[in-house]
Amino acid sequence: MSRSACRSPMNRKHPTLTRLHLLLPIIALLLPAWCHGFSLTQTPVPGGVAAIRLPADTDPASVRYRHRRVLVTRWQGSNYAIVGLGLDVTPGTRYLEASTRARKPLRLSFQVVDKTYETQRLTIKDKRKVNPGKRDLERILREQKQIKAALRHWSDEAVTNLDFHMPVHGPISSPFGLRRYFNGQPRKPHSGLDIAADAGTPIKAPAPGTVIDTGKFFFNGNTVFIDHGQGLITMYCHMSRIDVKPGQHVATGEIIGAVGMTGRATGPHLHWGVSLNDARVNPLLFLGQKTGVDAPAGPAP
């Protein structure tokens, strides 16, 4: 984990700040540890992330949540399990299952607290995108298998920095976690972040990774999936074009396509999703203190 993300802005040569030096250790305990892009001290919520410090003798490859391997990374001499919590997680005590290097079983507990997300009601003119016909449903079922396979992908590549950059800049038109109604009918909560931008605006990779799949889907339109290692997958939907291919490595800031409105969309925007151990989590958590996005504006695409 990069130490630079946790530097104090304190200028120790400034005479008026000298007397505060003895207080710095106390202040540090009260401030969130912004590293890897998100706070290690933030409270886990549905749709959020839990960062759990592991005992020194834990075998990193053994750590699992809900029977799925989780991302393990190192920071300041300790290993941390970075666990994605889906929107369906109920508040209460949750457990990580692991073992020591000597194969002694471990069970680590952490608390999840409740979080209330807002409700959004949208009117979709294309009624097929709300109530698909038989042929549409057959296509959707085929596509769901492909999408699930991409989001459940695992690679053993070490993850040393989760400090993401915005893939595109613009106002947030639909925040993460919204309880959605399309034409008055309830649908699944919004599992990504919608960013409004002009059609054709370049979309850039927020971090290094490998393209694991692309496709043109009924709801998501033109879509790209990028693997960042250890079950951390990002997804980009409704694109007007795709500029990358499966197996291609991309660097931070590399263009992967352009903003569009393919699939179920009422205007040009990027739906950006982040999946961690097959749980959809809030992308803003990986931007740390630099969101780089504008305030919500207008009705969501």
**Candidate from 110-124, 151-165, 268-282 with smallest mean pLDDT:** 110-124
Asked if domains 3-112 and 119-287 share a fold, the reply is no
Quick: pLDDT tens for 160-208.
Answer: 778 899 999 999 988 898 876 666 666 678 889 999 999 999 999 999 9
Mean pLDDT of the region 107-113 = 95
Write down the pTM of the prediction: 0.81
pLDDT of residue 42: 67
Q: Which CATH architecture has domain 119-287?
A: Distorted Sandwich (2.70)
Q: What is the percentage of the chain residues whose pLDDT exceeds 90? A: 63
What CATH number has the domain spanning 3-112?
Answer: 2.60.40.1590
Q: At 246, is the pLDDT very low, low, confident or very high (cuts 50, 70, 90)?
A: very high
Domain boundaries, the chain: 3-112, 119-287
Here the tokens at position 146 are 């492909």
Annotate the chain with DSSP letters as a single string.
Answer: --GGGG-----TT-GGGGGGGGGHHHHHHHS--EETTEETTSPP-TTSEEEEEPPTTB-GGG-EETTEE-EEEEETTEEEEEEE--TTPPSEEEEEEEEBTT--EEEEEEEE------EEEE--S-GGGTS--HHHHHHHHHHHHHHHHHHT--------------SS-SBEEE-TT-EEEETTEE-----SEEEE--TT-EEE-SS-EEEEEEEEETTTEEEEEEE-STTEEEEEEEESEE---TT-EE-TT-EEEE-B--SS-SSSEEEEEEEETTEEE-GGGGGTT----BPP-SS--
Q: What is the percentage of the chain residues whose pLDDT exceeds 70? A: 77
Quick: pLDDT tens for 8-53.
Answer: 333 334 433 333 333 333 322 333 444 555 565 567 999 999 999 9
Mean pLDDT of the region 88-104 = 96
